[in-house]
Amino acid sequence: MNKQVLLGVCGSIAAYKAADIARGLMREGLNVRVVMTTHAMQMIAPATFAALTGNPVLIDAFDEPVAGQIAHIQWAQEADLILIAPATAHTLAKLAHGLADDMLTTLALATTAPLYIAPAMNPAMWSHPATQHNVQILTERGAQFIPPAFGIMACGDEGWGKLAEVEAIVQHVAGAVLCPKDLQEVRVLITAGPTYEPIDPVRFVGNRSSGKMGYAIAQAARERGAEVTLISGPVSLPAPAGVEVIFTQTADQMLTAVQSHFEACDVFVAAAAVADYKPAQPLSSKRKRDSKLWALEMVPNPDIVATVAAHKGNRYIVGFAAETDKVVENALHKLKKKGLDLIAANDVSAPGRGFEVDTNQLTLFFANGIARELPLMSKRETAHALWDAILEGRHAK
């Protein structure tokens, strides 16, 4: 039997995108049932979802499409996951306080299925303390948020409040429903993104890492049931749903954060592109432009993965080797020198791999000498393939 996703649609201007979400979930092999609020019907017709999904659409709390069944109980019990997208501020408030005055909120109160929420609203409404308090309540209760994106709203305002990208929502939900839960009770620590090493208050030394690979690894681990802590450098990415994110700027800050969480983890994946060097003497004020040569003295940054790997105990430690030449030789050297269990190597000079793109191609080297080359694929797919290899390596260790 196909997995069931119950899609709740609220009265946001983004309600029309819910049709694409429903279609995307169905392409993943999921059966989609739609529940709409009365305000959502002002934005998109129920007939649209009925035609797309082949299922009746529920709106009123007393809708009973099948005689002899109590719909809000039947659908609540049969759902493998509930997704509310778009979710309005009003619906968030009702969910947070346990109100059940329509079919959607009644189903949400009657189900034990995971609840995923993709909000969409005006930036002022999203940032309002009442809304953020309701988000906190729902998060503490176990709801998984797919955060809104930054952009220009229908009203012309700009800020955080746009519905997340349809494909991102589909991937979050499909992953949560379809992925094997083979990382349950596993505590995972991941680093991602670049580090910025200050030269003066307005300049820094950094690199081109977008953080996309590390964030995909974190999301994949969460989808598979892990408890995930992500220590991130400065990136422009939404936090992965259900993942604790700790933001840092410099390599020293990232090392401190890793050390404070390392003892509690079972697996550490060092995917961050940590700057190898930093300015020896950062300036306290901006250096003004002149015609003189400016020589910048650089000193080595701490090697985060090597530092903690020296005390790894029973933990499984994965490193990354982003190289432009001698990829295999350099990766194997790092694997041995740093005492890793697995290293993921890639040639970042090759098209479609490494920094700032949505695809990657890794070659995995295990400490026991086994190597495995992964094909070029999306970073989401790469992340799941990496977790397959990590699980294999942990079992063989």
Closest CA to 217 of 382, 30, 378: 382
Q: Which member of 10, 155, 179, 265 is catalytic?
A: 155
> At 223, phi and psi to the nearest 5?
-60, -30
**Alpha helices (H) in 238-368, listed in sequence order:** 251-262, 304-309, 327-337
DSSP of 149-190, one letter per residue?
A: EEEE-TTS-EEEEEPPPHHHHHHHHHHHHHS--TTTT-EEEE
Residue 229's CB is within 10 A of a number of other CB atoms, namely 23
Q: Which two tokens stand for residue 362?
A: 């890794």
Angular region, 291: left φ>0, alpha ψ -120 to 50, beta rest: alpha
Q: Alpha-carbon distance 330 to 155, whole Å?
A: 53
Q: Which two tokens stand for residue 223?
A: 């989808």
155 is catalytic: yes
Q: Alpha-carbon distance 10 to 111, whole Å?
A: 18
Q: Alpha-carbon distance 300 to 308, whole Å?
A: 17
The residue ranges of DSSP E strands in 212-315, in sequence order, are 227-232, 244-247, 267-270, 277-279, 298-300
Q: Are 374 and 210 in contact (CB under 8 A)?
A: no
Give, rounded to a whole angstrom, the gap between the first and last alpha carbons of the chain.
Answer: 36
Q: Residue written as tokens 């020589």?
A: 295
Q: Alpha-carbon distance 355 to 26, whole Å?
A: 31
The helix/strand/coil state of 151 is strand
Q: Which two tokens stand for residue 377?
A: 């694929």
Please give the positions annotated as active site. 155
